[in-house]
Amino acid sequence: MFEQLKTLPQDPILGLMKTFREDTRSNKVDLGVGVYRDEAGNTPIMAAVQQAQQRLLETETTKAYIGPAGAEGFNQLIGQLLLGGNHPALKDGRVNVVQTPGGCGALRMAAEFLKLCKPDTTVWVSTPTWANHIPLLGGANLNIREYPYLDKATLSVEFDAMMACLEQAEAGDVVLLHGCCHNPSGADLDADQWAAITDLVERKGLLPFIDIAYQGLGENLDQDAQGVRLMAERLPEVIVASSCSKNFGLYRERTGALMLISANAQQGQAATSQLLSAIRSHYSMPPSHGAAVVEMILDTPELMQAWQSELEAMCVRILDLRAALSQALAPAGDFSFIERQRGMFSFLGITPQQVQILREEFGIYMLDSSRINIAGLSADTLPLVSEAMREVLGRTE
Q: What span, in angstroms and rounded, lies between the C-alpha atoms of 362 and 359?
A: 6
Per-residue pLDDT band at 395 (split at 50, 70, 90): confident
Reported as a single tens digit per residue, the pLDDT across 137-146 is: 999 999 999 9
Instruction: Fill in the DSSP letter of residue 85.
Output: T
Say how many C-beta atoms besides its own lie within 10 A of residue 333's C-beta.
13
**Helical segments of 64-182, H only:** 72-83, 88-91, 102-117, 133-138, 159-166
Q: Catalytic: which of 52, 111, 124, 130?
A: 130
Which pLDDT score is estimated for 173?
Answer: 98
Q: What span, in angstroms and rounded, lies between the C-alpha atoms of 172 and 194?
A: 19
Reported as a single tens digit per residue, the pLDDT across 296-351 is: 999 999 999 999 999 999 999 999 999 999 999 999 999 999 999 999 999 999 99
Q: Evaluate whether 375 touches 317 at the Cβ level (below 8 Å).
A: yes
Q: Catalytic: which of 89, 246, 291, 292?
A: 246
Q: What span, in angstroms and rounded, lies between the C-alpha atoms of 16 and 365?
A: 7
Residue 210 has pLDDT above 60, yes or no: yes
Q: What span, in angstroms and rounded, lies between the C-alpha atoms of 329 and 115?
A: 46
Looking from the CA of 333 toward its CB, the CA atoms found within 13 Å total: 15
Q: What span, in angstroms and rounded, lies between the C-alpha atoms of 123 and 169?
A: 9
- Which phi and psi (to 5°) does residue 333 adopt? 150, -175
Which pLDDT score is estimated for 122?
Answer: 98
Whether 263 is catalytic is no
Looking from the CA of 358 toward its CB, the CA atoms found within 13 Å total: 30
Which residues pair with residue 346 across a beta bridge? 372
Whether 48 is catalytic is no
Distances (CA, A) of 280 to 21, 74, 109, 189, 270: 39, 19, 10, 35, 16
Q: What span, in angstroms and rounded, lies between the C-alpha atoms of 302 and 291?
A: 18
CA pseudo-torsion sign 88, 94, 99, 100: negative
Whether 23 is catalytic is no
Q: Catalytic: which of 213, 278, 306, 324?
A: 213
Which pLDDT score is estimated for 16?
Answer: 87
% of residues, the chain, pLDDT over 70: 99
Q: What span, in angstroms and rounded, lies between the C-alpha atoms of 275 and 386?
A: 48
Mean pLDDT value across the chain: 96
Q: Evaluate whether 75 touches 99 at the Cβ level (below 8 Å).
A: yes
**Domains, the chain, with CATH or none:** 2-44+316-394 (3.90.1150.10), 65-299 (3.40.640.10)
Q: What is the mean pLDDT of residues 177-192?
A: 97
Q: What span, in angstroms and rounded, lies between the C-alpha atoms of 40 and 380?
A: 9
Q: What is the mean pLDDT of residues 271-292?
A: 97
**Predicted TM-score of the model (pTM):** 0.96
Reported as a single tens digit per residue, the pLDDT across 214-265 is: 999 999 999 999 999 999 999 999 999 999 999 999 999 999 999 999 999 9
Which residue in 266, 255, 333, 264 sits closest to 289, CA to CA?
A: 255
% of residues, the chain, pLDDT over 90: 95
Reported as a single tens digit per residue, the pLDDT across 337-363 is: 999 999 999 999 999 999 999 999 999
Q: Evaluate whether 228 touches 351 at the Cβ level (below 8 Å).
A: no
Q: Evaluate whether 207 touches 172 at the Cβ level (below 8 Å).
A: yes
Which pLDDT score is estimated for 397?
Answer: 52
Q: What is the mean pLDDT of residues 386-393?
A: 96
Of the given ranges (14-18, 38-42, 228-232), which has the lowest mean pLDDT?
A: 14-18
Q: What is the mean pLDDT of residues 269-291?
A: 97
Q: What is the mean pLDDT of residues 51-62?
A: 96
Q: What is the mean pLDDT of residues 34-38?
A: 94
Whether 213 is catalytic is yes
Which pLDDT score is estimated for 396?
Answer: 60
